[in-house]
């Protein structure tokens, strides 16, 4: 098997964003008052680019559009373009705050870009319009591929994350999705793993197995991917260290006739939980990340599959048929303190535990009656279930964004399976275009460290 | 005679030749009429086809609506089911609360009735005034339902807010010690302490469970966890006693399987 090294190709390797200037001290009240969404939402204006010549106008345009999309994704309310058209060009260093007050902006972001060949820099300045004062000023510099507009996106993502941090939001703009697709295999029987930016851009192939590679999951830190491969006939767990272009096959050392699949890495990165049939039926097992020290947590005649870790790493939720139908159960990391979690729906599967400390909840695929699957979330503080999706076909395999504010999952509403995202309450549903074919089983990982 | 016949043939032939254009004209007319009819028929066929396509589109649209309605119905059914479950939980909580009030009334000493005007706590629906104390007075059911309190404490554990979680479970134990979940609450106190690496306190918490809830289904798990905490404290001999106890008394339990691993015994 060969693991391609997507990060050694053009694109991300060109990004070396350095912070030239640190944040300028700012009146605290302006920052504290940022309100996301609702009637009193803080309105942010992203000033039009001041560049007047090509190619700066193009690169600046890309950075601006990506920055806008990133901020809107997290719920920021932006000043409409139609209002800004009436304003004179803004001085990026010293804007006329009265102009921006007149269009209802509370925060203003200006930026200047410079480019010389493959060297690119974007300098952003964030101002409080109400306070007529600067909040933050940062410079992002690095290499770009002038022929590839995508290579400019990373600058905007980093700027967006810095602006989001003003509202105490841990941005996800530099996080990535790993997903399964049959796009490169017309027979649709073979599937490979691919990586994309959180918004579906910069898709890169990870595996070239020409077999079934499914159920991927990121290792914390975004440097490794654990997944299930049928390369040797039976499903086995593989671990790919993507930056090193190195793959460890059959991590759990399954012998002929035994199968292992659906592995997930613990939050501390030291263990994997997975499903294996060494005892004759599928149980939940936990092993060290290198496959040593494997032990069975469930050991019942029922089929136990699809584990997911709690953010603390102290508990594991999983799917079990022990009650007669597939339902979600929870136990501690040693297999004790077992209890049933789901009660609504006749088939509940593919759990994903919200990684944030803010929200105690688990998302999963839930089938009601004999229809399709939908994404549901159970709130652990109330026990209440909310259904996030509804419609024709199915939506399955939810995965949380690292900040716990969004979900990615796959839906077949239009005939083929495509990735979709929503916020944690099911609003702002959007599909993500990651290319042709069927795309499923996305896992949302942290930005690579 | 022969000449006459010959002449007649020539005449007939000539007449027939003369009649040809007329016949041709007639055929052309018919042909035009037929062409017109065909065009008309083709138009009708096209209209029929168009109507069929429209019908199919309409049918598809109706099917889509039907599917959407069906999905909506399922969603409503699920909402209804969730409501039912919530209602069941609420009823159960109310029953537990009633049982508790009943117990308290049974055991409470008889006191003279206090006039309502002297009550120190606001009545239902009364907004609290500035500085009002909302903690329940003795005999009054607390504001938070048992299950809500338990779930909240558990969600704090899940979010790694261990101190808050301990407070929540201890509050649960204070208020609802006679409920089914009380032993679980005590177990979670031990878990929280263990998660914080406060092993001495964790042993104490598991001991409380073993002492106060002797028929709890958490006993094997608590015994095993106590053994793990003891091991972490370096008291391996005591830990082994706990593991052996679990293996001997609860041989089929998941805790026994783990205890056997600790003891190096085959499972």
What is A411-444 written as a DSSP string? E-TTSS-EEEEEETTS-S-EEE---SS-EEEEEE
A54 touches chain B (CB under 8 A): no
Whether the pLDDT of residue B100 is over 60: the answer is: no
Q: What is the pLDDT of residues A20-57, one digit of tens each?
A: 333 444 443 345 578 887 778 899 999 998 877 888 88
Q: Mutate which of B62, B71, B197 to test chain A, going by most A C-beta atoms within 10 A?
A: B71
Cα first-last separation, chain B: 131
Averaged pLDDT for residues B200-204: 97
**Rounded CA separation A173/A15 (Å):** 14
A340 touches chain B (CB under 8 A): no
**Rounded CA separation A445/A225 (Å):** 9
Tell me how far CA of residue B159 lies from CA of A375, A432, B156, in angstroms.
Answer: 22, 30, 5
Q: Which pLDDT belongs to residue A142?
A: 93
Among residues of chain B, what percentage have pLDDT more than 70? 61
Q: Which pLDDT belongs to residue B67?
A: 66
Q: What is the pLDDT of residues A276-294, one digit of tens each?
A: 999 999 999 999 999 999 9
CB contact under 8 A, B155 and A380: yes
Cβ(A269)–Cβ(A221) below 8 Å: yes
Q: Which pLDDT belongs to residue B120?
A: 28
The pair of structure tokens assigned to B240 is 């082994």
CB contact under 8 A, B151 and A336: no
CB contact under 8 A, B86 and A380: no
Whether the pLDDT of residue B110 is over 60: the answer is: no
Tell me how far CA of residue B190 lies from CA of A99, A176, A397, B178, B207, in angstroms.
Answer: 60, 38, 34, 19, 9
Whether the pLDDT of residue B140 is over 80: the answer is: no
Q: Mutate which of B150, B155, B159, B262 to test chain A, going by most A C-beta atoms within 10 A?
A: B159
**Rounded CA separation B151/B159 (Å):** 12
Of A213-222, B76-85, B148-157, give the lowest mean pLDDT range: B76-85
**Rounded CA separation A289/A266 (Å):** 9
CB contact under 8 A, A387 and B75: yes
**Main-chain phi, psi angles of A168, to 5 degrees:** 60, 30
User: For B66, left (φ over 0), alpha (ψ -120 to 50), or beta?
Assistant: alpha
Q: Which residues pair with A387 in a beta bridge?
A: A376
Whether the pLDDT of residue B125 is over 60: the answer is: no
Q: Which pLDDT belongs to residue B186?
A: 97
Q: Which pLDDT belongs to residue A401?
A: 98
Under 8 Å CB-to-CB from B167, ≥6 apart: which residues?
Answer: B153
Averaged pLDDT for residues B207-234: 95
Tell me how far CA of residue B93 lies from CA of A31, B82, B118, B150, B153, in angstroms.
Answer: 43, 16, 30, 12, 17
Q: What is the pLDDT of residues B180-191, one digit of tens each?
A: 999 999 999 999
Residue B250: Cβ-neighbour burial (10 angstroms; 0-12, 13-18, 19+): middle
Q: Which pLDDT belongs to residue B10?
A: 52
Contacts of B75 in chain A (CB under 8 A): 387, 390
Q: Binning pLDDT at 50, 70 and 90, where does residue B101 land? A: low
Q: Which pLDDT belongs to residue A392?
A: 85
Whether the pLDDT of residue B121 is over 60: the answer is: no
Q: Mutate which of B62, B78, B81 to test chain A, going by most A C-beta atoms within 10 A?
A: B78
Whether the pLDDT of residue B78 is over 60: the answer is: no
Q: Mutate which of A383, A387, A388, A414 to test chain B, going by most B C-beta atoms within 10 A?
A: A383
Tell me how far CA of residue A404 lies from CA of A266, B107, B159, B261, in angstroms.
Answer: 17, 48, 12, 36
Number of Cβ within 10 Å of residue A256's Cβ equals 7
CB contact under 8 A, B258 and A391: no
Quote the minimal CA–CA distance from A360 to chain B in Å.
6
B163 touches chain A (CB under 8 A): no
B121 touches chain A (CB under 8 A): no
**Rounded CA separation B203/B232 (Å):** 11
Quote the minimal CA–CA distance from A432 to chain B in Å.
22
Q: How many CA atoms lie within 13 A of A82 on its CB side?
A: 0
Sign of CA dihedral B217, B221, B225, B228: positive
Contacts of A360 in chain B (CB under 8 A): 154-156, 158-159
Cis peptide preceding A55, ω within 30 of 0: yes
Quote the minimal CA–CA distance from B80 to chain A in Å.
11
Quote the minimal CA–CA distance from B239 to chain A in Å.
16
Cβ(A96)–Cβ(A103) below 8 Å: no
Sign of CA dihedral A156, A196, A252, A332: positive
Among residues of chain B, what percentage have pLDDT more than 90? 42
Under 8 Å CB-to-CB from B259, ≥6 apart: which residues?
Answer: B224, B227, B242, B243, B244, B246, B247
Q: Which pLDDT belongs to residue B109?
A: 42
Q: Indicate the SS3 state at residue A218.
A: strand
Strands A439-445 and A77-78: unpaired
The ipTM (two decimal places) reads 0.76
Q: Indicate the SS3 state at residue A168.
A: coil
Averaged pLDDT for residues B169-196: 95
State which residues of chain A have pLDDT below 70: 1-32, 370
Core vs surface per residue B177-197: b (16+ CB within 10 A) or e: eebebbbbbbbbbbbbbbbee
**DSSP code string of B96-134:** HHHHHHHHHHHHSPP-PPPPGGG-SSPPTTPPP-TT---
The pair of structure tokens assigned to B243 is 């593991």
Cα first-last separation, chain A: 26
Q: Which pLDDT belongs to residue B99?
A: 52
Strands A43-46 and A107-116: parallel
Strands A133-143 and A119-128: antiparallel
**Rounded CA separation A260/A252 (Å):** 8
Averaged pLDDT for residues B134-148: 60
The pair of structure tokens assigned to B230 is 């003891």
pTM of structure? 0.75
Tell me how far CA of residue A337 lies from CA of A315, B183, B196, B221, in angstroms.
Answer: 9, 12, 18, 7
**Rounded CA separation A145/B188 (Å):** 55
């Amino acid at each position: 098997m060969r693991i391609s090294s997507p990060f050694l190709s053009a694109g991300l390797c060109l990004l070396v964003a350095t912070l030239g200037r640190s944040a300028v001290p700012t009146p605290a009240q302006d920052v504290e008052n940022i309100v996301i969404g609702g009637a009193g939402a803080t309105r942010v204006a992203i000033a039009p680019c001041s560049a007047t010549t090509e190619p700066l106008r193009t690169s600046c345009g890309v950075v601006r559009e990506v920055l806008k999309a990133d901020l809107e994704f997290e719920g920021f309310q932006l000043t409409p373009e139609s209002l800004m058209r009436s304003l004179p060009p803004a001085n990026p260093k010293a804007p006329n705050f009265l102009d921006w007050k007149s269009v209802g902006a509370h925060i203003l972001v200006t930026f200047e870009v410079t480019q010389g060949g493959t060297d690119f820099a974007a300098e952003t300045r964030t101002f409080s319009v109400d306070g007529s004062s600067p909040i933050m000023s940062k410079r992002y510099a690095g290499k770009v591929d002038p022929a590839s507009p995508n290579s400019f996106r990373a600058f905007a993502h980093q700027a967006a994350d810095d602006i989001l941090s003003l509202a105490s939001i841990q941005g996800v703009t530099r996080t990535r999705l790993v997903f399964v697709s049959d796009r490169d295999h017309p027979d649709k029987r073979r599937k490979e793993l691919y990586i994309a930016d959180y918004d579906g851009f910069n898709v890169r192939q990870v595996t070239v197995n020409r077999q079934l590679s499914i159920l991927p999951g990121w290792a914390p830190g975004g440097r490794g991917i654990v997944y299930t491969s049928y390369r040797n006939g039976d499903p086995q767990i593989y671990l790919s260290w993507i930056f090193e272009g190195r793959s460890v096959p059959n991590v759990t050392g399954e012998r002929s006739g035994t199968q292992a699949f659906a592995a997930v890495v613990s939050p501390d990165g030291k263990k994997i939980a997975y499903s294996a049939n060494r005892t004759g039926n599928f149980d939940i097992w936990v092993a060290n990340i290198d496959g040593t020290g494997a032990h069975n947590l469930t050991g019942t005649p029922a089929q136990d599959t699809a584990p997911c870790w709690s953010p603390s790493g102290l508990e594991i939720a999983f799917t079990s048929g022990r009650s007669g139908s597939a339902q979600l159960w929870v136990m501690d990391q040693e297999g004790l303190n077992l209890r049933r979690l789901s009660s609504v729906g006749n088939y509940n599967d593919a759990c994903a535990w919200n990684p944030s400390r803010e929200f105690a909840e688990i998302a999963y695929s839930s089938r009601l009656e004999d229809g399709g699957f939908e994404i549901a979330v159970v709130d652990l503080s109330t026990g209440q279930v909310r259904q996030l999706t509804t419609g024709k076909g199915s939506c399955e395999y939810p995965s949380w964004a690292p900040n716990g504010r969004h979900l990615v999952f796959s839906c077949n509403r239009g005939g083929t399976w495509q990735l979709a995202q929503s916020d944690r309450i099911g609003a702002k549903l959007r599909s993500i275009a990651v290319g042709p074919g069927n795309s499923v089983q996305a896992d949302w990982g942290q930005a690579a460290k | 005679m022969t000449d006459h016949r010959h002449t007649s043939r020539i005449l007939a032939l000539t007449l027939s030749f003369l009649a040809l254009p007329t016949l041709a004209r007639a055929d052309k007319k018919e042909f035009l009429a037929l062409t017109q009819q065909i065009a008309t028929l083709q138009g009708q066929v096209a209209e029929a086809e168009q109507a069929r396509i429209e019908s199919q589109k309409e049918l598809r649209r109706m099917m889509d609506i039907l599917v959407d309605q069906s999905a909506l119905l399922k969603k409503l059914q699920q909402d209804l089911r969730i409501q039912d479950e919530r209602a069941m939980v609420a009823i159960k909580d109310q029953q537990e609360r009633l049982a508790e009030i009943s117990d308290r009334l049974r055991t409470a000493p008889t006191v003279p009735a206090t006039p309502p005007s002297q009550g120190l706590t606001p009545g239902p629906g009364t907004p609290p005034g500035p500085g009002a104390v909302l903690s329940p007075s003795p005999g009054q059911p607390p504001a938070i339902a048992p299950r809500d309190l338990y779930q909240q404490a558990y969600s704090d554990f899940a979010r790694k807010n261990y101190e808050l979680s301990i407070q929540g479970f201890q509050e649960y134990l204070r208020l609802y010690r006679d409920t089914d979940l009380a032993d679980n609450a005590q177990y979670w106190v031990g878990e929280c302490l263990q998660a914080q690496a406060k092993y001495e306190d964790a042993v104490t918490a598991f001991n409380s469970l073993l002492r106060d809830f002797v028929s709890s289904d958490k006993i094997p798990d608590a015994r095993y966890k106590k053994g793990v905490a003891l091991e972490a404290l370096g008291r391996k001999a005591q830990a082994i006693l706990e593991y052996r106890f679990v293996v001997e008394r609860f041989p089929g339990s998941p805790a026994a399987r783990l205890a056997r691993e600790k003891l190096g015994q085959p499972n």
